[in-house]
Amino acid sequence: MPSDVENWKDELYGTDIRAEIDRFAESGWETIPEDEKDAWFERFKWYGLYHQRAGQESYFMLRIGPPAGVLEPGQFRVLAELAKEYSTGPIENPEFGNGWLDVTTRQAIQLHWINLEDVPEIFDRLDEVGLSAVQACGDSWRNIVGCPVAGKDKHEHVDAHQLAHDLHDTFKENEAHSNLPRKWKVSVTGCDEGCGQGDINDLAFEPARKEIGGETVTGYNVRVGGGLARNEPRFARNIDVFATPEQAVEVAGGISALFRDHGNRENRYAARIKFLVDEWGPEKVRTVLQEEYIDWELETAGEDLRSEYSYNAGEADGKHDHVGVHEQDDGNYYVGLNVLVGRIGADDALELADIADEHGSGEVRLTQRQNIVLTDVPAGNLEALQSEAQLERYSPDPHPFQRGSIACTGTEFCSLSIVETKNRQVRFSRWLVDNVELPEGVENFHIHLSGCTASCAQPQIADVSLRGMKTRKNGEPVEALDIGLGGGLGGNPQFASWVTERVPVDEVPGAIANLLANFEAERETGQSFREFVLERDDEQLAELIEPEETSYEDPFMHNTKRTWYPYADQDGLDESPAPARPDGSPISADD
């Protein structure tokens, strides 16, 4: 039997949802029938709207997904203006204040505390500058990710920027591909460094070359079925297909249609294409693609050009995350800025937009490591740009503990999360910077904190992986983290092993400090952290992690999932003011 979600989508889905959003925005939140809310909230996702968690009724997260994270001149400024005007809630975050935007691990922007009544105006403002929230969520083509400096990178073999936009233009609002069994995540990489992270996407186009008709053609090898969600991570698998840049869109459409027609619509847990690849095998995927969806002869895979794949590779050397000052292929420079846990205050974002305009072309690009890149900076402007006060907070040369920090939304807004994440990861990184010396040669160290097993922070591909749990300490329930080690992408990708479970959160920084001390004491000369980890089994690794109370203090030890907002008690607003109208006035059950 089809799931409830499939039944709701059969009744109404796709572009028709926009008129219903406008209708409810006009009549008000309180006019959504109580027994229809689950169905409407599921449909709203197609237009990038996620309803926030219990206690925050009437508030939404809005996600805007520019293909491959490219924000053209003026677009980043509009997002900052929208954050300042509409993304403010009834209470301040103790670290970030009120009014900010989040850069995600899929090169998108998320705004929180959005009122449904304001959504049509926000959509109009986005439309005016060529941005959209269409299919930023929901069971369809999500934001297409790729190298954030594609088209400007000195190390690319093929311009993935063009393909990312072609895919976006072809499949967004395409009724034939608007209702898939589950989310559909696509990656396009054209460079050596693999920064599209194709390994962990449903569909990956990766640089390759092949002899065709006596000529060497540069295009893409195709892999299918990657993903991290829940406890079922998979690396994308080679289906032995090479596509020229001209063929890639049609190949993508064929694989999308294959998933549409053959994916599981009865069990949403099993509805990702990775499970179909498990069941069929890559060979059958290719056969069905050829026989049912492509009317010309597919080429077999070509030579893989990702020989220097190093993005999030977990190695001791190299900083292939686009942070820092790097020369473009046209002689100008791009400057990658570290955005700790991806969150930028609205006022800060407006100042960064000014800096992008003054010193570069005004273009801003988003990375899968939750950072931003300012492009097209002439050499003569670099010194002035680097002297800007905002670059002290958003640094092009951050400490490795901050450079490698990623965190998901957490219990602040997410109904799935088990623990608080954003503020905690900021506190972790600051304590580590102040108290722990990295061993010699370790310049690149990734710590990813995910609030649950949904893996939005991509913890399985980090040096140190943190995953939200609960435990008891001194007889009291407290937030805790599982600790995993050894993840990373690159030439020999590896998912982290979860070697220690349910460590109370205030003992995690001490555990990381002791782990690094044990690594330094036992490593071979010049050995990277990842090499060190891969030599040891889980039992040996667990012995290297020694959870310990330190000078680190965690104000969010309590079960933040049980509160309406994790930081409410710090502001004296214990009772949720939700649901509320845009002016903050409460909506009673009788309204």
- Chain segment 262-275, per-residue pLDDT in tens: 999 999 999 999 99
Q: How far is CA 496 from CA 237, 468, 484, 507, in A?
A: 19, 15, 5, 20
CA atoms within 13 A on the CB side of 8: 19
Q: Record the pTM.
A: 0.96
Residue 306 has pLDDT above 60, yes or no: yes
- The pLDDT of residue 58: 97
Q: Mean per-residue pLDDT for 487-513?
A: 95
Residue 319 has pLDDT above 90, yes or no: no
Q: Mean per-residue pLDDT for 87-109?
A: 96
- The pLDDT of residue 229: 85
pLDDT digit string, tens, across residues 136-176: 999 999 999 999 999 998 889 999 999 999 999 999 999 99
Relative to beta strand 372-377, strand 405-407 is unpaired
Contact partners, residue 582, CB within 8 Å, separation at least 6 = 115, 117, 118
Q: How far is CA 282 from the centre of its chain?
A: 26
Residue 591 has pLDDT above 80, yes or no: no
Residue 67 has pLDDT above 90, yes or no: yes
| 3-class SS letters over 519-582 | HHHHCCCCCCHHHHHHCCCHHHHHHHCCCCCCCCCCCCCCCHHHCCCCCHHHHCCCCCCCCECC
Contact partners, residue 590, CB within 8 Å, separation at least 6 = none
pLDDT digit string, tens, across residues 235-264: 999 999 999 999 999 999 999 999 999 999
Residue 195 has pLDDT above 90, yes or no: no
Q: Mean per-residue pLDDT for 443-464?
A: 94
pLDDT digit string, tens, across residues 465-475: 999 999 999 99
> Considering the chain, what percentage of its residues have pLDDT values greater than 70?
98
> Considering the chain, what percentage of its residues have pLDDT values greater than 90?
91
* Token code pair at residue 137: 């969520």
- The pLDDT of residue 321: 87
Contact partners, residue 62, CB within 8 Å, separation at least 6 = 48, 49, 50, 110, 111, 114, 119, 122, 133
Please tell me which residue, 588 or 322, carries the higher pLDDT value. Answer: 322
Query: Mean pLDDT score of the chain, rounded to an integer?
Result: 95
Of 140, 155, 316, 290, the C-alpha closest to 222 is 290
